[in-house]
Amino acid sequence: MKNKDQELLSRLKESDKNSFRELFSKYHQSLFNFVLYRLKDDVIADDIVQETFLRVWNHRNSIKPNQSFFSYIAKISNNLCMDYFRHENVKLRHKEHIPQPTYSDIDNPASKYESKILEDKINSIVNSSLPAKCREIFILSRVNGLSNQDIAELLGVSRRTVENQLYRALKVLRSKLKDYL
């Protein structure tokens, strides 16, 4: 048994994938049980076992074939468990300082897409269905954010004219967008 492991470890050191597979098959379940006993969480235990074998493969050149392979992987997994416990401890200590995520419609790709479609439709209506003066007043008000008084002074018209043109623009938009609203 020991000679078989020594042979597999020597071949592993030479990057033999079949020997790695054999060692993985032979020791996976034992290592999983060892880690699971410490963590009491099979998902995290499985992650740690996978990471252990990944490290074995990545550091295969430093393997000593005459030493116990299970001791080697148990030490790696033990260190990974300790890292996990330290990380969990840090998370617990700083839990009250970590803000909870907030979600909005902006985070939802479907909402973003629908908003973009609506925005494109509004732009199309504004550019194709509104008379020039009405369009100019609407853009100054709704896109540039100017007040009715500022628009009136800028264009040299009365504030009442600006209000009438905005009312007219919104009426056109409502009628053309009734399917979207």
Residue 151 and residue 164: Cα distance in Å, rounded? 13
Same fold, 2-97 and 108-176: no
- Is residue 45 within 8 A of residue 39, CB to CB? The reply is yes
Residue 108 and residue 81: Cα distance in Å, rounded? 36
Angle at 52 between CA 50 and CA 56, to 5 degrees: 115
What distance, in Å, lies between the first and last C-alpha atoms of the chain?
75
Dihedral angle, C-alpha 137, 138, 143, 146, nearest 10 °: 50
Check residue 94 and give its pLDDT: 77
Check residue 105 and give its pLDDT: 59
Provide the CATH number for the domain formed by 2-97 in this structure: 1.10.1740.10
- Is residue 146 within 8 A of residue 154, CB to CB? The reply is yes
Residue 34 and residue 77: Cα distance in Å, rounded? 9
pLDDT in tens, the chain (181 residues): 568 888 888 888 888 889 989 989 988 999 899 888 988 888 999 999 999 989 989 988 888 888 888 888 899 999 999 999 888 888 888 777 777 777 665 667 777 788 788 888 888 888 888 898 998 898 889 888 889 999 998 889 999 999 999 999 999 988 888 876 6
- Is residue 106 within 8 A of residue 112, CB to CB? The reply is yes
- Is residue 48 within 8 A of residue 77, CB to CB? The reply is yes
Provide the CATH number for the domain formed by 108-176 in this structure: 1.10.10.10
Break the chain into its structural domains and give their ranges. Answer: 2-97, 108-176
